[in-house]
Structure 1
């Protein structure tokens, strides 16, 4: 497979840097082709300017996306989301006509999005480190359930242009890492990387396949009755 890693951490000597290097080695050893966009090393410009037209840098990233069978977004969880430089990568690379604004609207379908689109057929996975304990991100944890925190990325950034989104690889208490924990983390990550082609994606509902009223884009009354919030969009 072709695997594209979009990586955001300012320090090459960080835990994230070590995990990224391990992932590249593991994937290549298994025979996969790997490309990495190290956003800090590239000095990626995150700000989308008014009237910006996609230039060489943006087009090169879009080519990597089109080349990839699997896209891995690796980052530390900062202020409950991805680092600003990675969000800026999304804003500049996921351009109109490439990742959104595709397809005609009608009474039967509302463009090619949420399960359809330019990136349909590709797989995506987040590799996320967090400083807090796993319990802090549990269903009743003070930080909120991690599935809810990542929903805007999983559903709104990755699934929107058509990618199948795999469950994330999560590493908690990232500031408490010794050799034994790092070895265990690499072993767990290795298993996830080995199963990129076979892991069952998060079962998000597809937009144009009968679950939503068009053009209101709300779930039909007989679909998950009484269920609201992010969970209602899981089949």
Structure 2
């Protein structure tokens, strides 16, 4: 059993095997995403890890946040989502399916999100899982540690496994779709790092609408290497909000970056 600290539920860094939560978001289990989910589960279990899976489409997960998420909310009252979610979270009064997913996140030493890139973002089902599960009082808010640092869910690693229909060159620095790191920044930085999880470089399969058996085997080989190094790979070196790099207005201090750095790269430590 992998012990956790009693105050936070954070996993102990020195224990093995580890616990991994895989969250899958594709409506077709026979899809490439379904195959990658199955491969990841088998690979991780073969390495001795404990794995739990949240297959959102199989679960028929409700994507939209509404008053039903907070059973004690009075229907005629205005729904203030942050305040209501924090109150329900801290009181242990969330909808049962949300509480169950939060328990899985707390249980895990690492979280893997498996999804296709649809319209340059995650599917609505996965976005809805994030919206409903990462509540105030659980992942953010004044009752938990500050964001972009050793936050509420610190001590856990996080990996995005993404499929994209376009070729890899289209997601390059001069590619028409923009850099993959830019498209995934809302998840890597705005979800994982904001809530204290440690994000790894994402794994991606490009040209996913036509993957030959040979290319699938190559993808599995590369993904296998990434899964084997889930707890040893160097993470993305995002700057900490509390590390002295930002002012009181949450703006990066002038001149702290390498010359010529711009955009999202400003928020990655120089030389990392």
TM-score range, shorter chain: over 0.9
Q: Which string of whole-angstrom CA distances, capped at 9 and with x for unpartnered residues, describes residues 73-107 of structure 1?
A: 00000000000000000000000100110348xxx
Aligned residue number for residue 9 of structure 1 = 26
1:222 deviates by 3.2
Tell me whether 1:207 sits opposite 2:241 in the alignment.
Answer: yes
Aligned residue number for residue 107 of structure 1 = none
2:35 to 18, 22, 28: 18
Tell me whether 1:166 sits opposite 2:183 in the alignment.
Answer: no
Could you list the structure 1 runs, at least 4 aligned residues long, displaced by more than 6 angstroms after superposition. Answer: none
- Aligned pair count reads 228
Aligned residue number for residue 229 of structure 2 = 195
TM-score (norm 1): 0.94
Instruction: Please give the secondary structure, in 2, of the residue aligned with 1:206.
Output: coil
Q: Could you tell which deviates more after superposition, 49-58 or 14-23?
A: 49-58
Aligned residue number for residue 256 of structure 2 = 223
Contact 2:25 2:115 (C-alpha < 8 Å) held by counterparts: yes
Distance (whole Å) between structure 1 residues aligned to residue 217 and residue 247 of structure 2: 49
Work out which of the two has the higher radius of gyration on C-alpha atoms and give 1 or 2: 2
TM-score (norm 2): 0.81
Aligned residue number for residue 154 of structure 1 = 188
| Structure 1: stretches of 5+ with no match in the other structure | 105-110
1:51 deviates by 7.5
Distance (whole Å) between structure 2 residues aligned to residue 42 and residue 48 of structure 1: 16
Aligned residue number for residue 96 of structure 1 = 136
Aligned residue number for residue 97 of structure 2 = 57
**What RMSD in Å do the two structures reach over aligned CA positions?**
1.3
Contact 2:68 2:95 (C-alpha < 8 Å) held by counterparts: no
1:223 deviates by 1.4
1:134 to 148, 154, 168: 168
Distance (whole Å) between structure 2 residues aligned to residue 15 and residue 117 of structure 1: 33
Question: Residues 226 and 132 (structure 1 numbering): CA distance in 2 closer, same or farther, change over 3 Å?
Answer: closer
Distance (whole Å) between structure 1 residues aligned to residue 182 and residue 112 of structure 2: 19
